[in-house]
A and B are shown apart, each in its own frame.
Chain A
Amino acid sequence: MSFITGVGLTAYGRHEGSSSLDLMSKAAELSVADAGLKRADIDGILCGYSTVAPHIMFAAVFAEHFGIRPAYAHAVQVGGATGLAMTMLAHHLVEAGVAKHVLVVGGENRLTGQSRDASILALAQVGHPDYEVPLGPTIPAYYGLVASRYMHDYGVTQEDLAEFAVLMRAHALTHPGAQFHEAITVADVMASKPVAMPLKLLDCCPVSDGGAAFVVSRERTGETGVRVLGCAQAHTHQHVTAAPGLSELGAEIAIARAKESAGVAISDVRYAAVYDSFTITLAMLLEDLGLAGRGEAAARVRSGHFSRDGAMPLNTHGGLLSYGHCGVGGAMAHLVETHLQMTGRADSRQVKDASIALLHGDGGVLSSHVSMFLERTR
């Protein structure tokens, strides 16, 4: 058994003068304190990567900087799925008795540490170096390709996709740490600058500075326990050119495995935290995961289904689209928010019942998937 015993999250946006290690340390400090632990209690560290400060031994660099000497430490790289992949590994490490308290940490000064062009360029390298990158695609273009096909096959419109940006912004308005604080409408999304059609600027997550961390422990340390009920991965390809058909993508494989491992059904889920790098990502994943029928996710947004007071509250902090995206830490904010919801600490964003949560992360171009179920235990 494993528990998420503490969480830490910085505001996302601009942190002028903060390094990746600074942002990671800040979040780590918060999570260790939230777990009611001391630094010396941490005996395992898993961290992500920083595109601003790449290093071949990033976990050791962080451990030294933070001031701990863990029994187990290394970095993990699964793109946007890194945070949940680290959580899955931490879960197995504490279950296997390798460590008692694993600190999972990600953070990056991606916005102020480099130019936006440098950031876009670094990320575009997930494309094939010989067969894709020379054609000048960008990450939005990889997802734009997927979007064009998904919209074609399932009758989804650009206005439908815009609904997801509007929903994430509405949620971000209620979180003081979010990068964006101005309400937007479907018309605003439609009128925003074209980036890689059919995706426009407001269909895309921003580049942010920020850090997120949590502690995964063998025993719970607080009154309310948040337990990892089950999790699973699927990896079908790396490059969009080599992706399988839309009906064979990894999200469906990962969620099927995770449901089996957790022994729960989608109908048991009360809160959802789903990767939302682009509006199309969120639309597709909600439908792949079974949280909406094919082509029906946008209608569910319009009816309030995914709103804070709806039947399936989704990314109540504003997600990558509006809380912000600082790389590895980006989707870790989804888990931090889930933990706050499950432990009744989400302030004005608190939902009625977050007893069982589903989290899903995606790395690459819908390439690598991690699905996870969390359960509240008293």
Chain B
Amino acid sequence: MSPRIDDWTTGAEAIVYQSCAPCGRLQYFRRSFCAACGAPDPVEKRASGQGTVYATSLVCRAATPETRAHVPYNIVLVDTSEDFRMMAHGDHELAIGDRVTARFVPFAGRMVPYFEKVK
């Protein structure tokens, strides 16, 4: 097994993805194998936090007290410069195609990735 790197899902301020040495495919959701070819032990890598906005949705109606405190918040899908897609939060003004960079903000009791436009 390659060493596991902590990311925002495990309490660190980082975005991590996996890369398969045999087939070269990337995956964002952590697994002990490559979902494309089945090879074990994909290598964990830290992402740069750079990307392009693929889709956005401004959430105005949330379902829990913790998330309601943040309404409205913008959910975004970002295609990272490494070439995997991830969900995160982002500036309300973001438009599809915007070049963005990530920082981390508190949301409902944890730090989550938040994208803003590259100036």
Contacts and interface: CB of A to CB of B under 8 A. Distances in A.
Given A131-B87, A138-B61, A145 B29 contact: no
Interface of A: 117, 120-121, 124, 128, 130-132, 134-138, 140-142, 144-149, 152, 193-199, 239-242
B75 interface: yes
The 7 closest A-B pairs by CB, nearest first: A144-B57, A136-B67, A120-B63, A197-B58, A194-B60, A145-B55, A149-B55
Given A130-B30, A195-B60, 14 more contacts: A138-B59, A138-B61, A140-B57, A140-B59, A144-B57, A144-B58, A144-B59, A149-B54, A194-B58, A194-B61, A194-B72, A197-B58, A241-B87, A242-B28
A205 to B, nearest CB: 14
Nearest to B73: A136
Interface string B26-55: 001110000000000000000000000011
Interface string B67-101: 10010110111000000011111000000100000
A124 B70 CA distance: 17
Interface of B: 9, 28-30, 54-64, 66-67, 70, 72-73, 75-77, 85-89, 96, 107-108, 110, 112
Contacts of B70: 136
Contact of B57 (A148, A152, A239, A242): A148
A120 B59 CA distance: 13
A130 B9 contact: yes
A137 B55 contact: no
Contacts of A141: 57, 59, 75
B66 to A, nearest CB: 8
Contacts of B85: 241-242
B89 A131 contact: no
Given A131-B28, A135-B112, A145-B56, A140 B87 contact: no
B61 to A, nearest CB: 5
A134 B106 CA distance: 11
A135 B89 contact: yes
B55 A124 contact: no
Given A128-B29, A135-B88, A193 B112 contact: no
Contacts of B89: 135
A242 B61 contact: no
Given A131-B9, A147-B57, A194-B58, A137 B108 contact: no
B91 to A, nearest CB: 14
A106 B63 CA distance: 25
A135 B70 CA distance: 11
A242 B77 contact: no
Given A131-B29, A240-B87, A241-B85, A137 B59 contact: yes
Contacts of B30: 130
Contacts of A130: 9, 29-30
Contacts of A240: 77, 87
Given A148-B96, A152-B96, A124 B63 contact: yes
A361 B2 CA distance: 41
A134 B110 contact: yes
